[in-house]
């Protein structure tokens, strides 16, 4: 436990927050620094074919120690943290033998991890929790996944008497801004199937995710002195507000669950002349996903019909699709992970991902890649936490998947 905690702490203290506006790959220099340090660590624990490419993708191999051929299994996690919440000066806190009470994250600012707001805390009584200090996110998404993969690989290198086939590892940049698979080389990776260690609470096993798109809406206004503005001014911020109100008010993240999709306004900035809004569009069903994109275009036309052509414009770009259609023909990869969990006393929770992983896009690139829990809760904010016991079980699941893959003939 102590070594796993130390490794996780060393990872989360590195600022690898991604940034969609830089146009770089990786999008921030902290990710490339972290990639190089991970490569050095993988080499030091005894992995081979360790490489960091110019885009920050880290790949490595745990070579087979058995004579017969078995499938090559891969494990993938991402290095970046969410661009939407501070990752500077992360100061993780350890709560040993958690007693079930509210956890004060920051006494000075009275920031509390509340059992009322987060009742899942009650499932962690008696465990060791790692939390934030109330000022930053934690970064368990997905540095917990990285720590678990490295720990499992280190264990197998240290125990050569345990038979296993070839294992490939990859750590990717910029997953949080939808670009984690942009330069992922399936052929170079060379696995027959893989798993992203990027899920939430213990037991999650996922092969369904949102279809996803990014939309940028621009509202063009006309600024005139307010004293003489009648019939002349066109306030882009007021029109933007009208656009927002025209979308279904309950089809937003805070009112949806399970297989329900949404429109999510992630940022807005503007003045009288110009307002820019960024949305993400999500839905599990492809037809509903297409309907949501069509609705955005329809609302832009309505705005333009009222305020004049060119007042509003929208650009929509697809980000990733539901991996289900690529995993269902090869369900043995799910059955294998389910069996691995059961054999290490983890109850599988086969649920849809209300988000996405690199595995979604990688699956469409020809490498089946469902998602397994990393163990964290409340990602992307100051209330993020992770039980160390869940991380330990994730390591066990990785080791068992490798073990079971070695039995395939």
The residues assigned a catalytic role are: 80, 175
Q: What is the DSSP letter of 390?
A: H
Q: Is 279 helix (H, G, I), strand (E, B) or coil?
A: strand
Close Cβ partners of 7 (under 8 Å, ≥ 6 residues apart):
147, 150, 151
- By the 10 Å C-beta count (0-12 exposed, 13-18 middle, 19+ buried), 374 is classed as buried
Over 65-103, what HEC string results? Answer: CCCCCCCCEEEEEECCECCCCCCCCCCCEEECCCCCCCE
Q: Please give the structure tokens belonging to residue 100.
A: 């079930």
Close Cβ partners of 78 (under 8 Å, ≥ 6 residues apart):
142, 145, 171, 172, 173, 174, 175, 176, 180, 196, 198, 358
Find the distance separating the first CA and the last CA of the chain, reported in whole Å: 34
CB 14 within 8 A of CB 30: yes
Q: Please give the structure tokens belonging to residue 261.
A: 């999709």
Residue 15 CA to residue 13 CA, distance in Å, equals 6
Q: Please give the structure tokens belonging to residue 44.
A: 């030091």
CB atoms within 10 A of CB 115: 14
Torsion angle in degrees (nearest 10) through CA of 301, 293, 85, 108: 70
Beta bridge pairs of residue 111: 106
């Amino acid at each position: 436990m102590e070594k796993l905690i130390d490794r996780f702490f060393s990872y989360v203290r590195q600022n690898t927050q991604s940034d969609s506006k830089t146009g770089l790959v990786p999008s921030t220099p902290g990710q490339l620094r972290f990639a190089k340090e991970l490569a050095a660590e993988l080499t030091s624990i005894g992995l081979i074919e360790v490489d960091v490419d110019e885009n920050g993708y880290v790949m490595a191999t745990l070579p087979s120690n058995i004579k017969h051929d078995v499938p090559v299994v891969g494990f993938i996690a991402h290095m970046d943290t969410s661009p939407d919440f501070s990752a500077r000066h992360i100061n993780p806190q350890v709560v040993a033998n958690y007693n079930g009470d509210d956890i004060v994250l920051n006494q000075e600012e009275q920031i509390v991890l509340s059992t009322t707001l987060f009742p899942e805390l009650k499932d962690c009584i008696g465990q060791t929790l790692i939390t934030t200090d109330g000022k930053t996110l934690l970064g368990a998404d997905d540095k917990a996944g990285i720590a678990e993969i490295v720990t499992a690989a280190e264990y197998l290198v240290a125990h050569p008497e345990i038979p296993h086939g070839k294992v490939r590892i990859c750590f990717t940049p910029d997953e949080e801004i939808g670009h984690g698979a942009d330069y992922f080389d399936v052929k170079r990776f060379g696995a027959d199937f893989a798993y992203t260690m990027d899920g939430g609470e213990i037991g999650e096993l996922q092969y369904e995710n949102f279809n996803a798109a990014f939309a940028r809406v621009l509202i063009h206004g006309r600024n005139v002195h307010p004293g003489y503005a009648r019939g002349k001014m066109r306030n882009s911020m007021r029109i933007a507000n009208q656009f927002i109100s025209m979308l279904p008010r309950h089809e937003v993240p805070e009112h949806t669950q399970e297989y329900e999709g949404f429109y999510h306004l992630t940022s807005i900035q503007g003045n009288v002349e110009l307002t820019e809004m960024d949305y993400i569009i999500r839905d599990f069903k492809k037809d509903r996903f297409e309907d949501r994109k069509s609705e955005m275009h329809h609302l832009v036309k309505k705005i333009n019909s009222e305020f004049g052509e060119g007042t509003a414009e929208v650009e929509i770009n697809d980000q990733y699709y539901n991996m289900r259609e690529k995993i269902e023909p090869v369900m043995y990869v799910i059955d294998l992970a389910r069996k691995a969990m059961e054999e290490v006393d983890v109850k599988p929770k086969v649920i849809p991902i209300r988000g996405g992983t690199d595995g979604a896009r990688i699956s469409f690139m020809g490498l089946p890649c469902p998602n397994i829990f990393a163990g964290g809760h409340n990602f992307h904010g100051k209330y993020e936490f992770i039980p160390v016991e869940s991380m330990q079980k994730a390591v066990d699941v990785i080791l068992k998947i490798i073990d079971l893959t070695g039995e395939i003939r």
